Amino acid sequence: MTMGNNGDIAWILVSSALVLIMTPGLAFFYGGMVKRKNVLNTMSSSALCMGVASILWVLIGFSLSFSGDIGGILGNLHWFGMQGLEAGKAASVFAPTTVCFAIFQMMFAIITPALITGAIVERMRFSALFIFVVVWSIIVYYPLAHMVWGGGFLQRLGAIDFAGGNVVHISSGVSALTAALVLGKRKNHGRATYHPHNIPFVFLGAMLLWFGWFGFNAGSAGAANSLAVHAFITTNTACAAAMLSWMLIEKIKNKKPTLVGISTGAVIGLVAITPGAGFVPIWASIVIGALVSPICYFFVTVVKPKFGYDDSLDAFGCHGIGGIWGGIATGLFALKGFNPDPKLDAVQWNGLFFGQWQLFVRQLAAIGITIVVAVVGTLIALGIAKLCVKKLRVTSRDEDVGLDASEHGESAYPSFNGMD
């Protein structure tokens, strides 16, 4: 087996574990926000992604994302089943060994489809979700990972995405909105009062996401070096700034900051800094975090009610919009020189704030292309899922009973018999 620097290997494996814990964290974050009768189904959706995406990644996902190049859009199947990777030369400049890189990237492939589920909770059949995750991963996630990180079209164009603004957040957020529109609103959407059933779950999930995000962003340096340190501090700073910004908005607007708002602000701060964590100055992470909260708050409280779509847990309003702002902000504030190896520095031009326009334009182009790929791919994935299982949604009666009972035959709170 080809070995790299042991310290770098240790850091990437630890980072991989940190990113993996984000998906159970997301399960708690989303699970706490739904009704009691749907919490297990919501959390099971994240668990499904952990299983499906892991096996799919080993079989074809890593190869389609990072092996070879077909038209700048997709890799090939040269590494089907990850064959030959352990004996060969390290195929990635981003990590000490190829398998190490594959493990780290697998965790991203797990959480991205799980993010989508926040927009479609409480109404999608579990079997339909299974098919959707498989197809969506193949036709949306793997091509985007290849285009942005695997030597594909967007990487050659000069667009940059440090840890997944396009690949993870914009793709999942836009796909979430598309899926929510196709599935339609929940039965009592707009008529019944909505309250999260377990706010401590929401906070626990947000804090697990914050904890895991250090692996997500700092691990994307690919080594235990000064770039990882830089990404670590920008990640924490943007998260803190966004959390305080959301608290301030709620205090001004509603006179009382809420724990759900505090949790939401922290998560969107992490989303916003992801594409630029290793590319922007530390001070810029304060600006990026402070501004993402009013932007997302506007979409969640003004745009969503105006258009009436049922993005249940604001996956689009938080991840889609937060990711778009992060990609734009990277085009504004990126600077060359944070990577200790100049040959590996992905920043070809400084950001618009520092007087160069080339990167900013490429960031806008990458965001636009990501949106198109996500919309078209989601429509195809939902269409294939519908062909396979006939109906994407549970029945009206099952929606009344709750998906925990109708889809899983379980109850999270068997002693609770009140109204939900």
pLDDT of residue 95: 79
With bands split at pLDDT 50, 70 and 90, how would you rate the model's confidence at 31?
Answer: very high
Task: Please give the torsion angle defined by the CA atoms of residues 113, 104, 273 and 72, in that order, rounded to the nearest 10 degrees.
Answer: -70
pLDDT of residue 2: 45
Give per-residue pLDDT as tens, 339-352: 998 888 999 999 99
Give per-residue pLDDT as tens, 356-413: 999 999 999 999 999 999 999 999 999 999 999 999 999 999 999 999 999 999 999 9
Q: Is the pLDDT of residue 418 over 70?
A: no
Handedness of CA 199, 316, 401, 22 (dihedral sign): negative
With bands split at pLDDT 50, 70 and 90, how would you rate the model's confidence at 85?
Answer: confident
CB atoms within 10 A of CB 302: 10
CB atoms within 10 A of CB 229: 14
Closest of 393, 345, 389 to residue 134, by C-alpha: 389
Question: Which range among 65-69, 105-109, 166-170, 340-344 shows the weakest confidence by mean pLDDT?
Answer: 340-344
Q: Is the pLDDT of residue 4 over 70?
A: no
pLDDT of residue 94: 72
pLDDT of residue 420: 61
Report the chain's C-alpha Rg in angstroms. Answer: 20
Domain locations along the chain: 6-408
Dist CA 65 CA 143 (whole Å):
6
Per CATH, which fold does 6-408 belong to? Answer: Ammonium transporter fold (1.10.3430)
C-beta of residue 243 within 8 angstroms of C-beta of residue 259: no
Average pLDDT, the chain: 94
Give per-residue pLDDT as tens, 171-195: 999 999 999 999 999 987 767 667 8
Give per-residue pLDDT as tens, 124-160: 999 999 999 999 999 999 999 999 999 999 999 999 9
pLDDT of residue 114: 97
With bands split at pLDDT 50, 70 and 90, how would you rate the model's confidence at 96?
Answer: confident
User: Helix 98-116 vs helix 6-31: angle between axes, to the nearest 10 degrees?
Assistant: 10
Give per-residue pLDDT as tens, 199-254: 999 999 999 999 999 999 999 999 999 999 999 999 999 999 999 999 999 999 99
What φ, ψ does residue 124 adopt, rounded to 5°?
-100, 135
- Judge residue 80's burial from the number of C-beta atoms within 10 Å of its C-beta, 0-12 exposed, 13-18 middle, 19 or more buried: middle
The pTM of the full predicted model, rounded to 2 decimals, is 0.95
C-beta of residue 33 within 8 angstroms of C-beta of residue 258: no
Higher pLDDT pick, 168 / 190? 168
